Structure 1
Amino acid sequence: MTGRVLITAGASGIGRAMGEGFAAAGYDVWITDVDTGALEQVPANWRSFAVDVTDEPAMQAVFAEVDAAGGLDVLCANAGVAGPTALIEDVALAEWRRCVSVNLEGAFLAAKYAAPIMKAAGRGSIVVTSSTAGQFGYPNRAPYAAAKWAVIGLMKTLAMELGPHGIRANVVCPGAVEGPRMEGVLEREAAAKGMTRDQVYAGYASGTSMRSFVEASDIANMAVFLGSDAARMVSGQVIAVDGHTENPDPKV
């Protein structure tokens, strides 16, 4: 084994692709997820936990098991939810809090309990999943954009705080990623803006210089690189894997 990786929200989508990528690179894969059905479908040799990343005692227990098993080389703080698609005046406080809690507090808790394990080893890599919504203003997505900007600030702080202990921290910003989660975003934005799903899709694609959505495996490949020794001097960086997003607000 190359090492051990823990991926939050690792049972499907980007997290599942990350698990597959790290497994192919020889890592021992541990994952958490709230989707028990998806957890049942992951490879049998992955260690999995049905955990909500905002549940601190449960997260603490997972990391205690990781530590007892021999440590942690890479953390992928990947858990996130899309949150509501609505004008700011129509966003309920409960929706705001849930979106920010999962996206930001989930990353905070994962880093909080990974840091002591990595410090003891004198090395490690933390990869946080943000979004291109963490680089631009994003109409109708205030909670999500705010949380994804915030995790970049968290990562920049982790890079400075943990760097002297040999621990690197970076953020990956996916653009529009093919898959069920993005389909839900497309449908909600279409309804909110009086557009068709295909119009919104075309708007997202035309807002990139590559004129294309990305695949979950593209994000996973970057995470594996950032976790590896090949990226030993890469820290504190915000790396977009998005085909170069120029206009995050879909228009036709």
Structure 2
Amino acid sequence: MRRVLITAGASGIGLAMAQAFATNGDAVWVADVDGDALAALPDNITGRFCDAADEARMSEVVAEIGTLDVLCANAGIAGPTAAIEDVALDDWRTCVSVNLEGAFLATKHALPAMKKAGRGAVMFTSSTAGIYGYPNRAPYAAAKWAIIGLMKTVAMEAGPFGVRANAICPGAVEGARMEGVLAREAAAKGMTRDQVYNGYAAGTSMRSFVEARDIADMAVFLASDAARIVSGQVIAVDGHTENPDPKV
């Protein structure tokens, strides 16, 4: 039975990942700051309160689990929606801290035991914002680009020890976080929520948003023996984004 840790795993994409790995027969832990969501987790998923950017607490959670077979560095926040000149430094730092430093800290503390065991898979949740520039989302895009650089470095450092690393880049994912983004963009652009939603969908060749289970399915695949030689890859699960600046 593999041991799996998912940061920000009590809701959204993280919860879909946790459920998919648990259904696969894995022992799953999730780290999250949402106490209510942690309390609502099913019995086959173990929750631990942890801020992804809190190194001491992250170290404790990883040490409690022991040797990890799979790490999903998934913690992230949307950050502000504003032109770069209107982004407050504190908002920039908070967004980068959660999205990038959280991934760094989880990996930092999970890798030593993985390398010693000679096996492991690390999945980083980046974004299509880590492939394209996104207007009015500078802190988020910068952090998600940086995650790809982090992933490729981890793949190079850990590969000789049998540990793989890949980045999953979701597109626009149905759910509460995306609804917040839609509302902020609608307000900033003087548009309705539906107009912005339709603009995002129209910016993909499949004319569709992504569901959390689509991301979860990719994570399970990348952690499996079927992907035993797949490492250092940036894999978009986004319906093929054609236009990173959504318009009607």
- Normalised by the size of structure 2, how large is the TM-score? 0.99
Counterpart in the other structure of 1:220: 216
Show CA shifts across 1:35-66 (max 9, x none): 00110111123221111001000001011111
Matching of residue 204 in structure 1 with residue 200 in structure 2: yes
Matching of residue 244 in structure 1 with residue 240 in structure 2: yes
Letter in 2 for 1:76: C
Trace 1:87-126 onto structure 2 (pairs within 5 A). Answer: 87-126=83-122
Residues 22 and 44, structure 2, Cα contact 8 Å, conserved in 1 = no
Show CA shifts across 1:69-109 (max 9, x none): xx210000000000000011110000000000000000000
Trace 1:188-199 onto structure 2 (pairs within 5 A). Answer: 188-199=184-195
Deviation at 1:120, TM superposition (A): 1.4
Letter in 2 for 1:34: V
C-alpha distance in structure 2 between counterparts of 1:169 and 1:119, whole Å: 12
Show CA shifts across 1:166-193 (max 9, x none): 0000000000000111000000010111
Residues 8 and 32, structure 2, Cα contact 8 Å, conserved in 1 = yes
C-alpha distance in structure 2 between counterparts of 1:45 and 1:162, whole Å: 30
Runs of 4+ that moved beyond 4 A: none
How many aligned positions are there?
248
Partner SS for 1:126: strand
Counterpart in the other structure of 1:76: 72
Matching of residue 140 in structure 1 with residue 108 in structure 2: no
C-alpha distance in structure 1 between counterparts of 2:162 and 2:186, whole Å: 46
Counterpart in the other structure of 2:52: 53
Counterpart in the other structure of 2:10: 11
Partner SS for 1:138: coil
Partner SS for 2:105: helix
Q: Choose which of 81, 85, 88 in structure 1 pairs with 2:81.
A: 85
Counterpart in the other structure of 2:62: 63
Residues 10 and 34, structure 2, Cα contact 8 Å, conserved in 1 = yes
Counterpart in the other structure of 2:164: 168
C-alpha distance in structure 2 between counterparts of 1:44 and 1:202, whole Å: 38
C-alpha distance in structure 2 between counterparts of 1:27 and 1:248, whole Å: 36
Partner SS for 1:234: coil
C-alpha distance in structure 2 between counterparts of 1:237 and 1:220, whole Å: 17
Deviation at 1:117, TM superposition (A): 1.2
Letter in 2 for 1:99: C
Partner SS for 2:102: helix
Letter in 2 for 1:230: A
State the identity as a percent.
74
Counterpart in the other structure of 1:33: 32
Partner SS for 2:231: coil
C-alpha distance in structure 2 between counterparts of 1:128 and 1:58, whole Å: 20
Partner SS for 1:39: helix
Q: Choose which of 127, 131, 137 in structure 2 pairs with 1:131.
A: 127
Partner SS for 1:29: strand
C-alpha distance in structure 1 between counterparts of 2:20 and 2:84, whole Å: 38
Partner SS for 2:40: coil
Q: CA RMSD in A?
A: 0.6
Structure 2: 5+ residue stretches without partners: none
C-alpha distance in structure 1 between counterparts of 2:126 and 2:91, whole Å: 19
Structure 1: 5+ residue stretches without partners: none
